[in-house]
Structure 1
Amino acid sequence: MNGKAQPREWLSFLDEIVSESSLIQASFSSPRRKDEEIPKKLTVRPVKLKTGLFYQFERHLHNKAFHDNVAADRVREQLQTTMEQYKQALFKTSSADVQILANKKGELSLITHSRTTKREAAPQEHNRTKSYVLQDGERIPFLISLGVMTSEGRVVKAKYDKFRQINRFLEMVSDVIADLPRGKPLTIVDFGCGKSYLTFALYHLLAIKEELPVRIIGLDLKKDVIETCSKLAEELKWDNLTFMVGDISDYEGHSSVDMVVTLHACDTATDAALLKAIGWGASVILSVPCCQHELFRQISQPVLKPLLKHGLLKERFSALVTDAVRANLLEIAGYRTQLLEFIDLEHTPKNILIRAVKVGKTDVAELEREYAQFRDFMGIKPFMEKQ
């Protein structure tokens, strides 16, 4: 099925996944034309309703989620129509991941990434209880080694918050797997990896569960932490997960990177990591900022004096301004950027995750104008602009 596909091959693929009920999830991205009513991303998954098997089409528009449940006997036509609106899609089936690419003429290419193990395409209950990426009761070696699980696969009660945090992070990663390049080994750098709970979780998701060719490098300044993480990776026989002692600003290990993760990097270290990611042209960036002092010292706006005269309020306000600056500069650099609610880390009460997906530069004149007005109103000179 690899290579250029004629319409009949695309339709045969649809016939196959519908007749065999083998679709696990489909993700459509990069609309072919600018239209406010066409979401930048649309996902499809099978759901089990009282009346039988349906496929739920989920789209996000104007900060709202919309769901349409399509009957199994109509889903083939709906999938075909949806593909006509997008440049690419990723179909996860029981036996393979199939990437669909449309060229400028609308011709489709199908690239198949076969799996070594077969997945079950079981539709989920429509009104289901919370389903984690990692399940309590499932023996997961890295969680056992990290003390999050017992040897029987049960989550340690005192570590349940950590278990929830790991799953929340993996949910956010799962949403952007379709935006990672295919057909080549993926390189991921985790700046300030610390004890690396989430670094190990990321490797488990991408390399073990998704079976993607991936190399992950964890970077931190603490030598003892790096030694501990390296030992665990060796015990797990995860040869493509490595840890190094190093500083974000000085790291020059790669000329290009596909994903950059930075969790609880203090103050402008987060900005340094984002600049590295932009310079590498990373397809996906995930960042949870920590302490943010830079703009606290800079913000100067008389109109806001009733707010800024209170140190606590100014600190919180400065943190929000800092993340707004980062999000806007990422958009100007060609990234679709979201600020998502995360779960508090041990190191910081901050619970905002910045998720950015590279979509390529478009007309950014209006974005630049809006940002410049905001920056000048606040009287600030952000780190990301000064570098």
Structure 2
Amino acid sequence: MPSFRPRPYTTAFVVLVSLFLYNRGGPLSRLYLNAPSRLEHVNNLNQPSVQFADTVRNCEDVILVPEESIVLLSCDPSRDTWNTVMGTFVDPASSPDTGIYMWNYKDSNAQPEKIQLLDFNLRINEFHPLGIEYHAPSNTLFVVNHAPSGSAIEFFKFLPSEAAATHITTLEEPKNLATPNSIAVLSETEFLVTNDHWFRRRFRPVLALLETYMAFRGGSVTHVKFHSKLADGFGETTVLTQIPFANGITQLNDSVIAVASSSMNTVYLYSMNRTDGSAPKLKQIRTISVPFHPDNLSVDGNGKLLIAGHPHAPTTEKVSKGNRFCQSNDPAEREKCLSKGLSWVAEWSEAERLKTLYAGDEFGTSTTAVRDVKSGMGIITGLYAKGLYVWRD
């Protein structure tokens, strides 16, 4: 009886498939395990409630400024019709309610207030804020803007007492900042930016989806350094590492950077080393696997890493395509609305490891969670949600 000898290309194919399943099996299994009918609901938050549903909508990022007892929110109701990450290109115009909002959470009567953007008239009609960051010592506000003319980073001088911000400059760099998403500030003139994809979904939709679901290492972390003041012009950009669907980024401490990979259901921890004035070097030191697609990251006053994200990618995709119909007065259009997105928020520390704080659909499409440990107040924002999900420990 003749013996079977596999051909070289058959062996290579089997090896490649095995490697793919090894790397992608966990994340792809969540397409089944985290489906709306199977998702196990967990709520370890203290008396959570949806607040300000009539004031803000589609807030992607939130920055906690405990020294001022305020939070800053990037909110874009027109994300329903323009989202360069999710592939929605119906109408590029910005909503009048799109902008950066400020909320004084110590004032029980305060509502989120849209801050006035000064000297920004040329860009205001194509303002689609996503990731934001704040450098308190210099009052510098960094905003990722997914403008129809091309994604950019906007810089403002923030004036908290006046609920206003003066535009300083715009940074556009189509090579190393083609798909900017989240920012971690190092100083007034230096920061790290994630690029979520190599292929832009607006121009290469099929390739961008393949990059997402096949977990190609097209995303990146880019270092940006201005040579002097921001207004004096552009310095230089350096790609430090490449990650599949690089999303949220934050400093865990002075020497460790955390980066979320939405495709890999993983948060990567990197040591950040620099010996001179050049771009820092990142060395991967740990991976944190999570049972959902992580979006944005933050660190609370106790050093715990808060991770917010999406349990089920197909459900998030459906919400992104149908959310614009939820505001319609036409009953036929409202039938296309899928308003119940899913959320998952967890915290991680070296001592306590990963702990789920919230998983469910009472507040959907979670993107960011922050917590003021002194006041015990926490906030979750939702990419396609009305209001904020607020709890108090």
More strand by share: 2
Question: Computing the radius of gyration over CA atoms, which structure comes out larger, 1 or 2?
Answer: 1
More helix by share: 1
TM over 0.5: no
Higher relative contact order (CA 8 A, sep 6+): 2
Q: If the length of structure 2 is used for normalisation, what is the TM-score?
A: 0.27
Q: If the length of structure 1 is used for normalisation, what is the TM-score?
A: 0.28
